[in-house]
C-alpha cells in the first residue's frame, strides 16, 4: 500500500489508535535509554523490590531519575506529537497508547483521558502505599541539595517517580484500556517502536486480529512488518510531513 492510499483510508476512519515508542521522542532530543550512551548503559537498573527494601538502592534510583527530570524540563513536543494531537481535534482519535514516560503527548495537547502511559510518567511522583501524587519540582530541588524525598505526608509510605520499574507489575487499568482500544481500533498506527518489549508489543497484533488496518512507522524493521498493511521506513517527522497534507485532500 502506498502512502496516498493509506491516507485515503485514514480519512474515512474515526477509531484511530496510535501506539508510540522511544522513536517519536528521540526527535525531540530525548535519548533512547537502551541505546549507546543512554541511561541503562550508565546506571545499573534498580529493581522494584530493591527500591522498596534498600535505602542504598533508593539513593541510586533517585540519582538516575534526577538526571532524566532535568532532561525532561527542557524537551518539547515535535511534529509527530502535534500531528497525533490533531487526530483528536478532528474527532478521529480513539486512544493513544505510549511506552514513553516523558509526557510529551499531553504537552502537545492530547487529552489525558485519551492517553494510556503503559510505563507511567516521569512528570509525577506518587506514594507507593496510598497513591497520593506529588509535584516533582520541589522534590528534585531538594535532591539537588542532597536531601532524599521524605515519606508521604498522608500515610508515611515511600515516594517514587510514577514510572514502572524493572520487576514492578504493569498497571492493570492502563493495560485493560490499551487492550480495549486495540480491539476496537479501525486503524492502528505504530510510531517509533521496535515492537520487541512485551507485553506491550502484543497490542498491534490484537488490533490486526480484530480487523484494524495496521501501519508501522519506524526507522528500523520490526518483527511485525510482514503483518502490517502499510510500512514507512524513515524519520517520524518526515512521515507526518508527508501525511498531513494528504489528510486534508478530497
Residues designated as active site: 119
Cβ(172)–Cβ(178) below 8 Å = no
Q: Which residue in this structure is represented by grid cell 481535534?
A: 89
Check whether the bond before 8 is cis (ω within 30° of 0): no
Residue in the block written with cell 531519575: 65
Look at the alpha carbons of 226, 232, 233, 237 in this order and tell me if their dihedral is positive or negative.
negative
Eight-class DSSP state of 225: G
Residue 152: what are its φ and ψ, rounded to 5°? Answer: -55, 130
* DSSP labels, 118-143: TTEEEEEEEETTT--EE-HHHHHHHH
- Is the torsion defined by CA of 157, 125, 110, 84 positive or negative? negative
3-state DSSP call for residue 5? Answer: helix
Which residues on neighbouring strands pair with residue 125, listed in sequence order?
Answer: 134, 161
Residues 6+ apart with CB under 8 A from 159: 125, 126, 127, 128, 134, 139, 149, 150, 151, 152
Is 88:111 a contact under the CB 8 Å cutoff? yes
Amino acid at each position: 500500500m502506498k502512502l496516498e492510499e493509506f491516507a485515503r483510508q485514514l480519512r474515512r476512519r474515526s477509531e484511530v489508535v496510535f501506539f508510540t515508542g522511544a522513536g517519536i521522542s528521540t526527535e525531540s532530543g530525548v535519548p533512547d535509554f537502551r541505546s549507546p550512551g543512554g541511561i541503562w548503559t550508565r546506571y545499573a537498573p534498580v529493581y522494584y523490590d530493591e527500591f522498596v527494601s534498600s535505602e542504598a538502592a533508593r539513593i541510586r534510583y533517585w540519582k538516575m531519575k534526577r538526571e532524566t527530570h532535568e532532561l525532561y524540563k527542557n524537551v518539547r513536543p515535535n511534529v509527530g506529537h502535534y500531528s497525533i494531537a490533531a487526530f483528536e481535534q478532528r474527532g478521529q482519535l480513539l486512544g493513544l497508547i505510549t511506552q514513553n514516560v516523558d509526557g510529551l503527548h499531553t504537552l502537545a495537547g492530547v487529552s489525558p483521558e485519551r492517553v494510556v502511559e503503559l510505563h507511567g510518567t516521569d512528570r509525577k511522583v506518587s506514594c507507593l502505599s496510598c497513591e497520593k501524587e506529588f509535584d516533582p519540582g520541589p522534590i528534585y530541588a531538594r535532591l539537588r541539595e542532597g536531601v532524599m524525598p521524605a515519606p508521604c505526608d498522608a500515610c508515611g509510605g515511600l515516594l517514587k517517580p510514577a514510572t514502572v520499574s524493572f520487576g514492578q507489575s504493569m498497571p492493570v487499568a492502563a493495560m485493560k484500556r490499551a487492550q480495549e482500544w486495540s480491539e476496537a481500533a479501525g486503524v492502528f498506527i505504530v510510531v517509533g517502536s521496535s515492537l520487541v518489549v512485551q507485553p506491550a508489543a502484543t497490542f498491534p497484533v490484537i488490533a490486526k486480529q480484530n480487523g484494524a488496518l495496521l501501519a508501522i512507522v519506524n526507522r528500523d524493521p520490526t518483527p511485525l512488518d510482514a503483518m502490517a498493511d502499510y510500512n514507512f521506513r524513515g524519520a517520524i517527522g518526515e512521515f507526518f510531513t508527508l501525511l498531513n497534507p494528504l489528510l486534508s485532500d478530497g
